[in-house]
Every structure is written in structure tokens, then in C-alpha cells.
Structure 1
Amino acid sequence: MPCGSDSDEQEVKSMEIVIRVPGSCGELIQGVLPDGPFLITCPIDCYAAVRISDRFTGWYGMGSKAKSAMKRTLVLLGEKEFPWGIRLESELPQGKGMSSSSADIAATAVGVAQALGYELSAADILREAAAIEPTDGIFCEGIVRMNSMTGTLLAQYPVLPSVRLSVFDTGGQVDTLAFHARPEPNFPDPQRIAEALAVFERGCRAQDAALIAQAATISALANQSVLYKAHLEELLDFVQPLGALGVNVAHSGTVIGVIWPAGIPESYLEKTVRKICLRFPDLALLRQARLISGGVDIRSDTLPPLFETS
């Protein structure tokens, strides 16, 4: 082949992949029915992200659960080595019930598989994540009902009415593994959970945000007998006259979400949240969020900042 040919002059293209997975504001519903435990996801526009590149080496920002996800994924794929650099970053605080570990695990597993030329299904991720800890299916498309202990997908709701959430923290942290391993676990009243699920499914069929929020509120109040959150009932009484549709909680975490209509004016929301903070100084506002579809965002052609939302 002559010198200076096109093949010789081609640059070797570098490999870079960014994987983003949303976190959550707790769950819309969680409890136990005769056929087993379940939760309904509440994904929000707040993310964990993994960047994989051949421009650097080593593992960065990887906690023990993300490292477990990486090792398990390599075993699942029959691979022994991962030759590229991997960096995990997250907007999600740990121990609050915002699915930080589930998002880390999913982003890591999908990133490792993508870099090696494999595709993981939602069922693959659910199974591997549940083997590490009780998991939240925020990496599944839409909103899902699932068994967090086994990773079994029970139902999928592709479209849900849009709502806003003001995410408040009651303080402290909850260790997911320790919470689910407590020696004498108690559960919310199954009749109340069945009621919440029925209202939720009516809301899905009617695309009615008020019914979705009503279902979440029923579940949140029922969970007070399991993991009590100070001020929850007073907060609900305070915010509903101000236009809130209801509340939801992290059933094994510390956050409370105040649910608002999607079209609430920004200026009114800001003013109202200030009132809430003044009335309940023990609650810390973590962020404003939107309920979104869950799923995994994979980018390899253009590489924006890890947490660009456009």
C-alpha cells in the first residue's frame, strides 16, 4: 500500500461513554400484599452518572456496591478484565432513600457492558442489583411496580401525569441493608396498601395527577407505623390548602416529597416552599424536582457534562 494512504492517516478514535440513571424521591407506594412485597418507583430528574474512557485508567468514585456491580457484570458477561478508566459521580445523597445505590449500581453495570460491546436488559440489571441489595427499579422505563427483594418486575406504567416535587429531608441516614434485615420487621397495614394501589391504578388509567398523589399519601401515612417521620401529618395539613396534591416518602429512608401540580407557577412555588421551611425548621429542603420516566441514558457520540439535563 502506498505511503500517505487514507488508511494510514486515519486517527484512532477514542472510546468514551457516559451513562446516566435517575435517582428517586422515595417511592410512590411501598408495602406487602398477599403475593409479596412491592414498591412503585418515583424517579426524578436527579442523577448518578458513569463515564468510561480510554483516556484515563483506574476506578474513581466507586463505592463498595458499585464495585460489586462491576465485578458481577464482568462475571455475567464472561469477561475477566476491564481495561478502561471508569469514573462515578452522583447528585444523589446517600442514606436518604433517593435510590443513590440503585442508580450507582445500574449506571456501573450498563457502562461496563456497553464498553465491552454488550447490552443489558432491565431484567438483567434488576437481577444483578437485587443480588447486591434490595433495589429500586429507577433504571426501568416509565414507572414500575416491582419486588425490590428479588428484582422481579410486576407491572410497568409507561406514561404518568407530570408533577413537581419539593424534596425535604427529615435528617439522619437509613442503611438499606440493615433496615431490611431487622430481626422483627413490621409492615404497613396491607388494607391501606391495597387501597393505595387501587387508587394509583385508577389514576394511571385516568391520567389524573391528583389520584396518583392521593395514592402516594395513603402509602406515606400507612408507613408511619414502620419508619416514623416527624411532622408528616402536620406538613400534609399545612401544604394541601396551599395547593399541594399530597405527599410521598422514602419508606426506608429519610426524605418526604411534597407533590405539586406540574403547572404550578415557579414564583408561587418558591414563595410557598419558603413558608414551609419557616413553619417546619427541622425539615431541610434538598431540591425541587420533577417526576420523570425512569430508564438509562447512554451517550457515546457527544459527551456533555455528566449532569446536563437537556
Structure 2
Amino acid sequence: MASAPIHHGEVLQGAFPRGPGLVRGLVTLPCAMYSVRAAFTPDASGEVTVVPAWKSKARTAAGLALVALDLPGGGRLELSGDVPLGRGFGSSTSDVLAAINAVGNAFRVTPTPEEAAKVAVQAEIASDSLMFGDRAVLFAQREGEVIEDFGAPLPQLRILGFGSRPSHDGTAGRGLDTLALPPARYTRRETERFAELRAMLREAIATKDLPLLGEVATASTRINQRHLPIPALDRILGIVDEVGAAGLQTAHSGDISGIILDRDDPEVDACTEHAQRALRAIGIVEQWKFNTDD
């Protein structure tokens, strides 16, 4: 048996210098609200089957993990979990990572995060960085490589999450087909700004500077607004300012966002309740809250 966590969208997502060009990268926000569990039973068939049958990416990942780890045969993969799909919680990567870990556990082999990342990208085209645990990394989601390891976790946060992109009929929670979205095309000025935000995030993590981290997340949200708009973004940012929150983070390929609050502030519960009321007042009723160290 193995498990895999989820995340709550991104703190930063954009395009960053690497070599002579640019590479797309992201920094995810840890979240323990949901998880995926997987069990792999090896057999000599040479093929992998999966339950439920529609979890094709996880099946592919298990087969690729057998090859990557030089393990024999095939087997049966069983998955269970409660992660909402297509919302920005990393449901696909959670399935894939749980499958990889389950294969390893079945043979008492532990894939490295780097090995898991390579398999995950092969299995799902674009992967999140869940295999690195609570390490804050700038991760190239289509190459499966770490662009920068920030050397420490993100500061501990209170997040007031909510569904930020209701569907056309006014309902929320239906998610997005994230791979169907065209990759964002950033301007030169935007890529220059991403380089600045990367340096700011590095400092925020090293010094545990929550306001600076919130500034990075809000700036990333504003830049990506052009590519996947959040309705009422200006009104939401007004609430962020009204309650004295650090910033706003979002799933840049999903439909969830989070107001970033100081977990250790004595007034954090009152601020959270104030923000909840203000969000409901503008029609955002789907809400949840968590601490990143839960």
C-alpha cells in the first residue's frame, strides 16, 4: 500500500530562464485535505491492469515504473481516494505518484523523487511536484526536472480556499480539463517579471517572510489572469486587502484559489471569518480552510 498527497494550486507559475531559452515552471502549495491510496499486486502477465479502469494515467505510470526500476512482470493496481478532479488539487499527479510508490513498495524499492518525476511526466505529459514532499522547488512540469530547490519548505500558512471560476451556468466545482488548455504564451515583460518573482520567493522562503510570499503569489495570479481569467478578481483582491491577508494564490490550470493568511496571527480566525463573509457577499459560497502544516 502506498499513498500520495495533493496540493492547492500554485504560489508561482510561469516561464523561467534555463540555458539559452526559457522553461515553464511552477511552485505548488502543499495541502493535506485529500489523498490517493494505491496497492500493487505483482504477477507474471507482463501487463498492468488498474481498478478503477478509467485511471489510465496511473496504469501507464505503473508500467513505466516497472521498466524504470528494472522490475519484472506486470500486476494489478488498485486506487482509492477522494481528490476532486480537474480543479487544481493535482489529482492526476496524485494518482500517478501513488501508483509509482505502490509498485516500489511491492518490490521493496523506493524510487527517488527524481525517478518518480521522470516517470510522472512520461505518464501524464505535465506533472506537478508532489514527489518532492514539503520541499519547495521550482519544477519544470513538462520536463520533470527541478529548476531550483529553494532548500526549505514554504512558510506555514492558513489558507481560505474557494471555487474561483464558476461554470457558465453559475455552478461551481466542475473543474477544468487542464491538458486541453493551451500553454500560456507570456510576453517578454512577463518573463522578466517571473525572474524577479523567483528571486523574491527565494528570499521569502529563506527568511519566512509571509508578506513577501503573498506578494509573489498575488503577482503570479495577476499575470496568469490574462490566460485563464478568474471572475471578479479585482473584488477578490479587494477582500484580500480588506482583511489584511498576505495575498492570493490560485491554481493556474484549475478553478480553485486561496487567500493567504498568517497561521500564527492571534486574529487569524477572525480574519478568516471576515473573509468568508465577504466572499459570500460577492457570490462565492464554495469555501474551505486549512493550515499547510495540517
Offset of 1:65 from its aligned partner? Answer: 1.3
1:276 aligns with 278
Instruction: Tell me, in whole angstroms, the C-alpha distance in 2 between the residues paired with 1:135 and 1:215.
Output: 22
Instruction: Tell me, in whole angstroms, the C-alpha distance in 2 between the residues paired with 1:270 and 1:248.
Output: 15
Deviation larger for 198-207 or 272-281: 272-281
- Is 1:122 aligned with 2:124? no
Cα pair 2:6 2:35 within 8 Å, conserved = yes
Instruction: Tell me, in whole angstroms, the C-alpha distance in 1 between the residues paired with 2:235 and 2:206.
Output: 31
2:86 aligns with 95
Q: 1:148 to 1:31 in 2, by over 3 A?
A: same
2:160 aligns with 166
Cα pair 2:63 2:74 within 8 Å, conserved = no
Cα pair 1:193 1:222 within 8 Å, conserved = no
> 1:117-266, aligned counterparts within 5 Å?
117-131=108-122, 132-141=124-133, 142-157=135-150, 158-169=152-163, 170-171=165-166, 172-180=174-182, 185-187=184-186, 189-264=190-265, 265=267
For residue 27 of structure 1, what is the amino acid of its counterpart? E
**C-alpha distance after superposition, 1:155-184 (max 9, x if no partner):** 22323210011111123432222224x6xx
For residue 144 of structure 2, what is the amino acid of its counterpart? G
Q: 1:88 to 1:125 in 2, by over 3 A?
A: same
- Is 1:44 aligned with 2:26? no
Cα pair 2:61 2:119 within 8 Å, conserved = yes
Query: Which one has the largest radius of gyration?
Result: 1
Secondary structure, counterpart of 1:139 in structure 2: helix
Secondary structure, counterpart of 2:290 in structure 1: strand
Kindly, what percent of the aligned residue pairs are identical? 23
Instruction: Tell me, in whole angstroms, the C-alpha distance in 1 between the residues paired with 2:25 and 2:285.
Output: 28
Give the number of the structure with larger relative contact order, counting CA–CA contacts within 8 Å between residues 6 or more apart.
Answer: 1
Cα pair 2:155 2:210 within 8 Å, conserved = yes
**C-alpha distance after superposition, 1:88-115 (max 9, x if no partner):** 2223211111111111110111111111
1:296 aligns with none
Q: How many residues get paired?
A: 267
Give the root-mean-square deviation of aligned CA atoms. 2.2
Cα pair 1:47 1:103 within 8 Å, conserved = no
**C-alpha distance after superposition, 1:198-229 (max 9, x if no partner):** 21111112111111111111101111111111
2:6 aligns with 23
1:306 aligns with none
TM-score, scaled relative to structure 1: 0.79
Instruction: For structure 1, list consecutive stretches of 5 or more residues without a partner in the other structure.
Output: 1-16, 293-308
1:104 aligns with 95
Q: 1:222 to 1:270 in 2, by over 3 A?
A: closer
Instruction: For structure 2, list consecutive stretches of 5 or more residues without a partner in the other structure.
Output: 42-48, 167-173
TM-score, scaled relative to structure 2: 0.83
Instruction: Tell me, in whole angstroms, the C-alpha distance in 2 between the residues paired with 1:33 and 1:283.
Output: 35
Offset of 1:237 from its aligned partner? Answer: 1.2
Offset of 1:254 from its aligned partner? Answer: 1.1
For residue 155 of structure 2, what is the amino acid of its counterpart? P
Offset of 1:51 from its aligned partner? Answer: 4.0
Secondary structure, counterpart of 2:86 in structure 1: coil
